[in-house]
Amino acid sequence: MFARRELRNKFNFVLIYSKRARKVILMEEIMAKADELGRLIRNTEIYKNFQRLSGLLRADPDAANFFDEYLRLSGSIKERQDRGDTIESYEMEHLKNMRDLISANELILRYTEARQDYLDLLVEIRNQISDSDFV
């Protein structure tokens, strides 16, 4: 583990000092790099496709409401399972029926694929940042 400390100067800039790196980094520089990363992400086809399909899903209130209902139900069942609660067979059947209807909806399928691609991109970026030896 390396020693690291943060200091604030009279201009309220945060300075991060790492003995290992022997470097002082201004918070402004970090935020500038974060802005640049955000711009790069927004310029990817993965992000653009996700945004486009998000808009299409929002424009179809029936599909959006149905998908939201499915997410709520599946999340509720997952939470209850994690707590060790008993899930009734009719609840699982209802969830399965909803899943079947979602599988038949092309827009929701395309949206979930685009969302997963976008989340995978963000995870890959996070992993790259975490694995970097930058401090």
- Convert the pLDDT of each residue in 79-113 to its tens digit: 999 999 999 999 999 999 999 999 999 999 999 99
Q: For the purposes of burial, counting CB atoms within 10 Å of the CB of 121, is it exposed (0-12), middle (13-18) or buried (19 or more)?
A: middle
Alpha-carbon span 116 to 56, nearest angstrom:
16
For CA atoms 129, 132, 134, 135, give the dihedral sign: positive
Q: Is pLDDT of 76 > 50?
A: yes
pLDDT at 31: 86
0.75 surpassed by pTM: no
Alpha-carbon span 40 to 48, nearest angstrom:
11
Residue 11: which pLDDT band, with cuts at 50, 70 and 90? Answer: very low
pLDDT at 17: 54
pLDDT at 73: 96
Alpha-carbon span 60 to 67, nearest angstrom:
11
pLDDT at 2: 40
